Chain A
């Protein structure tokens, strides 16, 4: 049984999707427990995988008994075990927290909702574990299609935002497929480890360079890297809050993982940083992404729009940190994948909690929220402080690595962009806190001081996970040193210093 551990995070959610659909005909109420059980098993096996990687190093697993390079191989190492745990944990917490929300928003349609969601997690877990470039495309589409549906299932502007997301997302995925096609033409293989062995012989070919650029462009669309971010803000802010809580922390992070995997494992750092030498150019693109993401966030007046543009800026952090090409930058980038998953989950969850009690997320409507929903606002504040990068929270530590990577590489534009974005985040969040701290003005009678708006917190099933995530931000911060020394330093190839 234990040798099949790498397959479990994918197989269990996949089968549970089938189970939810079939049992859903008779007992829709069973959907949630099944999804919960499936994700718990997946998370536990991911933790088991991590334990195995820590004790005996990276390992490959031949799906269905077919050995690589002919069969589809799953490959587990420090990098994807870490991201897998982060993704599955975020999905599990999101699932628990949105239970009430889903019931209210979807009523009759909870069976399709949970089916789509476990399939979404299947896709993401598969992307993280697979060692086959084409299999990655298929799982990418599994995750994307379910993501489109989860966003488009909502009301109001959600279907239109979902449709735009489909058009952009399909272009992105197709570009990736095309790039993989070029690689297949040059090498005759699709297995990542095999590709890495055969590619050095054809490094001087323009086709390989083109394949690299096309794959990278496709992934940039998928991760919403600045000029290609068009789909993200509307999709995330108009989606039903249950869907945005579940999707926002996960998709972009997993796409950044794919970029790192492709560059480090398939093309090797020698090719990306020395032969093509595009690191500097991409860091400058990341600088633009960070600055523009932050500036556009400043121009918004709705909470979820602001948070979505912050996600766009954060993607710039991770891409830029990785392409600095030194150990500190990459450490920061990988650490930020984990931290940003937690931070994004925290702020979107807090926004979802606020939206259970107020109709709209316009900033002006947040007046008096500190009194009305103290715990949710405190969690939003914790998430905000972490995004700004205030010391004990985890956001500080990854930003510290990113900045020291930037200084080490002599890339002061990146350092300046990070500081600028932190300042903008300070302005953004303190504007929200300021509005939320003051009571709404009374209706002209002048005795509003005597009847403060009563406390009306979000349901406990949502509040408890939210508080846990907010506390986790600090815990992650305190243990980030251990995280780096025990896991992340092994995820980066030894040749990078």
Chain B
């Protein structure tokens, strides 16, 4: 039992990201409302950002800014004193990507709403069927 708790607690950041990811996927698949789907998509992307950022953390390490920088040679920075900055930098890009995706998705949702007067998937499907019937 204790081993299990240690297993769960020791990797809590991974559990967190997996739970968020599953919430996101669930919303994308199961929800009928387009905005809820889009929110699910964003949760899904955020989960992966959380995963990356949490892997950068280290015990007893500070932010990666070398305080004794220019001109003060002699001191060499030790990597163990700093958390890994690379995942953060990568995620800056990923955040930009996810904001852009969200923007495009919401724009299209507005277009869909103007066209069908609804954001519910089943109502939209009904009105598509009605229009297709009207054509023939």
Interface set of A (CB-CB < 8 Å, partner B): 134, 137-138, 141, 145, 148-149, 152, 156-157, 159-160, 162-163, 166-167, 170-171, 174, 177-178, 181, 184-185
Contact = CB atoms under 8 A, between A and B. Distances in A.
- Nearest first, the 4 A-B pairs at minimum CB distance are A159-B111, A152-B108, A163-B108, A141-B97
A448 B133 CA distance: 30
Contacts of B8: none
B112 A170 contact: no
Nearest to B109: A163
B108 A141 contact: no
A152 B109 CA distance: 10
A166 B108 contact: yes
Interface of B: 25, 28, 34, 37-38, 41, 44-45, 48, 51-52, 55, 87, 90, 93-94, 97, 100-101, 104-105, 107-109, 111-112, 115-116, 124, 128
B45 A170 contact: yes
Contacts of A138: 93, 97
Given A141-B101, A163-B34, A171 B25 contact: yes
Nearest to A175: B48
Nearest to B115: A159
17 contacts: A138-B97, A145-B97, A145-B100, A149-B104, A152-B104, A152-B107, A156-B115, A159-B111, A159-B112, A160-B116, A166-B41, A167-B105, A171-B41, A178-B48, A178-B51, A181-B51, A184-B55
Nearest to A162: B108
A148 B45 contact: no
Contacts of A148: 104-105, 108
Given A145-B100, A160-B112, A163-B34, A174 B44 contact: yes
Most interface-central of B41, B104, B107 (chain A CB within 10 A): B104
Nearest to B110: A159
B34 A177 contact: no
A393 to B, nearest CB: 36
Contacts of B128: 157
B101 A166 contact: yes
Given A145-B104, A167-B41, A174-B48, 18 more contacts: A134-B90, A137-B94, A145-B101, A160-B124, A162-B108, A163-B105, A163-B108, A166-B104, A167-B37, A167-B105, A170-B101, A171-B25, A178-B48, A178-B51, A181-B51, A181-B52, A184-B87, A185-B55
A156 B128 CA distance: 10
Nearest to B90: A134
B97 A167 contact: no
Most interface-central of A149, A157, A159, A174 (chain B CB within 10 A): A174
Contacts of A181: 48, 51-52, 55
B51 A167 contact: no
Nearest to B55: A185
Contacts of A174: 44-45, 48
A231 to B, nearest CB: 12
A167 B112 contact: no
Contacts of A171: 25, 28, 41, 44
Contacts of B97: 138, 141, 145
Nearest to B113: A159
Contacts of A137: 94
Contacts of B111: 152, 159
Nearest to B132: A157
A184 B56 CA distance: 11
A166 B93 contact: no
Contacts of A163: 34, 105, 108-109, 112
B63 to A, nearest CB: 20
A177 B45 CA distance: 10
A159 B44 contact: no
A377 to B, nearest CB: 25
Contacts of A162: 108
A167 B102 CA distance: 10
B27 to A, nearest CB: 10
A185 B100 CA distance: 27
A353 B84 CA distance: 55
A152 to B, nearest CB: 5
Nearest to A157: B128
Contacts of B93: 134, 138
Nearest to A168: B28
Contact of B41 (A160, A170, A184): A170
Contacts of A156: 115
Contacts of A134: 90, 93
